[in-house]
Each structure stands twice: as structure tokens, then as C-alpha cells.
Amino acid sequence: MSNLIVSFDPGASLTKIVYELATEGKPCLMTMEPEMLKLPQSSIDAYMSSRKGLESSKPVDEAWVSCAVDGDTQCTVVGFLARQFSASARLDKLKYETSIDKALAVIGAIAQHNKLPNRFSLSLTSLLPYGEYQNRQAFEEQLRVALKDFKFRGQRLRVKLERFECLPEGAGLAMIRQRQNGKEWFNAQTIAVLMFGHRNTSLLLFERGKMTAGYTNGLGFHQMVKRVIERTSGQDATTLTAAIYAAGSDITADNQAIRALVKSRDAKNIDYELQMIVNAIATAKSEYWSRLYDWLESTLPAVNEVILSGGAALYLEQELQNCFEEITTYWGNDLQQQVQAALKNAKNDDHHTFREQETLSFRLIDAFGLFMRFRAQMEKVA
């Protein structure tokens, strides 16, 4: 058994990690912001110099990695630290390409948080959008080389990747349904897994126990956020995303999450700006759902069950329930309870409030389901 087992979900709005140490025997959860930025070592040195005398941040909140690429050392800041440098989540790049440095940062943060030695073994299972699933071999090859020798916050780590698995987003939930109800049941069903993410929306189709089709489009939650930005003034995508999600279906001028978005401090302009924001969010949500519904109607075949996941699915819960009122839906509530129990683990490197944890637990169920399956396979082999 490897020293560390990791389920890695490099989401466009949040990197989600489920991991287990061989010495602990129980799952822990960790999250990182999605931003990343390549910087010269001098920039990182200047940042660290400016923090002399201050309390050291947690590894997950002050993450940077460096490794040799074609003879040159490249440094990348990841997550919360990258956000301090005004980095972006790089939605324009292929996810597997940005995931190499993210994975190194994740492994490094876990290692330092848990005081692992400089050398240890790793088994990793990862999710990629169905549209990038064909890149899984390139992802594994590049990650395997990078893990052999890299630095995390200046500490040299040499990690042996003993086992690697990559599956399309949503596959973890499908495998859990098979484990819950048995192969005979699973083989008799036609099941669709819908993953509503920040970057895109994906559909996996399982027939007679096999994945027979997959589709990915660009209709992620960021499309709705983009429309709101276009129709308002001075809004930041990160702050706006959190506010829209927090407001949910209560898109009114009285909602505190929406009121907090107002930039004006002039009393006569506040109400005008507030109404502009409310109208922009309401219109953008209606358009976003219309585009998704049109895609679903043209893409989704007749199925026995629909598995729903992803942060945007929770935001559109009522719309989706109405859409699939005549079809069995699975939202992973049982898995969500298991994730919530794991979130209470004292060793988690987690800073979310209880309310945020409830939402986070839903967003984590695909990675959590994948982890449970991966670990069970490893125990069976052992």
C-alpha cells in the first residue's frame, strides 16, 4: 500500500482533494483555489522577504512549486497565494495541462501539513472533463516525471507514483451507484451522469454496465457570471461567482449577498446599481438555464436514472427537478453525509464555515466516490 492515496479533482472554481495517509487509515479533505501563475524565483523570494517576522501560513494557503523543465527551473504559485498575485484560473487552457502544477502543489501541501518524509510513495486517481479524457496518458506521463523530483515551498520532494487512474468527471458517482445496487442492477439500467461545473457541462451515458457515450460543452457556470459582468459595472468574477451562488433563487434587492456587490457609496446611486445587478443576475440565470435545457433536450437520450452533480447543479436544483420530474434522480445525499462527516475530521486543512461545508460536501461527492472505489480496489489487490 502506498504511503499516500489521493483523489484529485482539479475543478475550474475549486481544486478538491480527498486523501488518506497509510498511517491514519481514514479520509481527509482539502481544497485549493483554482488560480495559478508562473513567476520567476525572484518574485517568490521578494514575497517571502516581505513576510519575514509574520506568522507562517498553512502550506495549502502559501503554495508554490518549482521543477526543472528542459534544463530550466520553472516556478508556479498555486491557489490562494496565486490569487494574491492577481492570477487567473486559466479557463482558456486545457485542464490537464494546468493540472500538473496543481497536483504537485496538492501533494506538497499534504506532505508538509502531515510532516511526511522527503521521499514517499503515492497512488493517485484523478478526474478530467470527458472532452479531455483522451489526454489521460499524456497527463500521467508528465505527472510521473514531475513527481520524481520537485520542490514545494523550497523543500525537495521525490515521490514515486505507484498507481495512477484517470476517469471522466462523473464516473466516480456512476461507480458508486454500481457498488450500492450491485452489478446486476447497474447492467440493467440506462444511466446518465450530468456534471454541471464552472468551466463546462458534461454528460456520461452508461448502458448495460458500460460507458457508451460522453459529451462536453462550454456551458459552465462561468458563462452566467460572464453575462452578469457584461451588464453591470466594476464587478469581479471571483466575488460575483460567490455572491450569485450564495443568493441562490433569492435574486432580490433585499438579499445581503447581492447588496454586498454594490460599488457605489453615493446614496442616490445605490438603489439604481442594486436594481441593475438584480436584473442582470435574473436575466443571466434565465438565459443560462435556457441554453442548458436546449442542450439537454437535444443530447440526452431516454434513460432510467439521472445522476446530478457539480456546484451549478445545486444552484439550478429546482430547474433540474422540474426537468426530470418523471425520471429517477440521484443527488448523492448519502455520499454527501459521508463527506460532511469527513469534513469534521480534526486533521483537515479546511477553513470553511459550517454553511459553506454543506455546499462544499455536495461539490466533493464525485471525488469522494472516486476515492472510495479507488481505495477499495487497492485493498482488494493488497
Q: Encode pLDDT of 84-137 as tens digits.
A: 888 888 877 888 889 999 999 999 999 999 999 999 999 999 999 888 889 999
pLDDT per residue over 205-217, tens digit each? 999 999 999 999 9
- What confidence score (pLDDT) does residue 25 get? 82
Average pLDDT of the residues in 173-188: 92
Confidence of residue 307 (pLDDT cuts 50, 70, 90): very high
Closest CA to 131 of 193, 185, 200, 196: 200
pLDDT per residue over 140-150, tens digit each? 999 999 999 99
Q: Decide: residue 134, CB within 10 A, 0-12 exposed, 13-18 middle, 19+ buried.
A: exposed
Confidence of residue 357 (pLDDT cuts 50, 70, 90): low
* Predicted confidence (pLDDT) at residue 274 exceeds the cutoff of 50: yes
Q: CA-CA distance, 168 to 295, in Å (whole number)?
A: 19
Give the rounded percent of residues in the chain with a pLDDT score beyond 90: 69
Residue identified by cell 460543452 is 217
Cell matching residue 234: 466594476
Give Cα separations from 115 to 69, 110, 111 (angstroms). Answer: 27, 8, 6
* Predicted confidence (pLDDT) at residue 360 exceeds the cutoff of 90: no
- What confidence score (pLDDT) does residue 68 get? 72
- What confidence score (pLDDT) does residue 356 get? 59
- What confidence score (pLDDT) does residue 244 get? 96
For the stretch 61-65, contacts whose Cβ atoms lie closer than 8 Å and that sit 24 or more positions apart, written own/partner, are 62/153, 63/32, 63/105, 63/108, 63/109, 63/152, 63/153, 64/39, 64/105, 64/152, 64/153, 65/101, 65/104, 65/105, 65/108, 65/150, 65/151, 65/152
- What confidence score (pLDDT) does residue 71 get? 64
CA atoms within 13 A on the CB side of 272: 7
The conformation of residue 35, written as its DSSP 8-state character, comes to -
Average pLDDT of the residues in 157-179: 93
pLDDT per residue over 2-24, tens digit each? 999 999 999 888 999 999 999 88
Average pLDDT of the residues in 179-191: 94
Closest CA to 65 of 150, 163, 171, 174: 150
Confidence of residue 353 (pLDDT cuts 50, 70, 90): very low
- What confidence score (pLDDT) does residue 78 get? 95
* Predicted confidence (pLDDT) at residue 299 exceeds the cutoff of 70: yes
- What confidence score (pLDDT) does residue 345 get? 60
- What confidence score (pLDDT) does residue 56 get? 67
- What confidence score (pLDDT) does residue 346 get? 43
310-328 burial, b at 16+ Cβ within 10 Å, e below that, comes to bbbbbbbeebbeebbeeee
- What confidence score (pLDDT) does residue 88 get? 83
Beta carbons within 10 angstroms of residue 238's beta carbon: 16
* Predicted confidence (pLDDT) at residue 197 exceeds the cutoff of 80: yes
* Predicted confidence (pLDDT) at residue 277 exceeds the cutoff of 90: yes
Q: Mean pLDDT score of the chain, rounded to an integer?
A: 90
Average pLDDT of the residues in 264-290: 95
Give the rounded percent of residues in the chain with a pLDDT score beyond 70: 94
Closest CA to 370 of 328, 339, 330, 349: 339
* Predicted confidence (pLDDT) at residue 222 exceeds the cutoff of 80: yes
Strand-pairing partners, residue 207, are 190, 210
What residue ranges in the chain does DSSP mark as E strands? Answer: 4-10, 15-21, 28-32, 36-39, 63-69, 72-78, 119-128, 150-152, 155-168, 190-196, 201-207, 210-217, 305-309, 328-330
- What confidence score (pLDDT) does residue 354 get? 45
Read off the pTM: 0.89
Between residues 37 and 268, which one has the greater pLDDT?
37
In contact, 44 and 30? CB cutoff 8 Å:
no
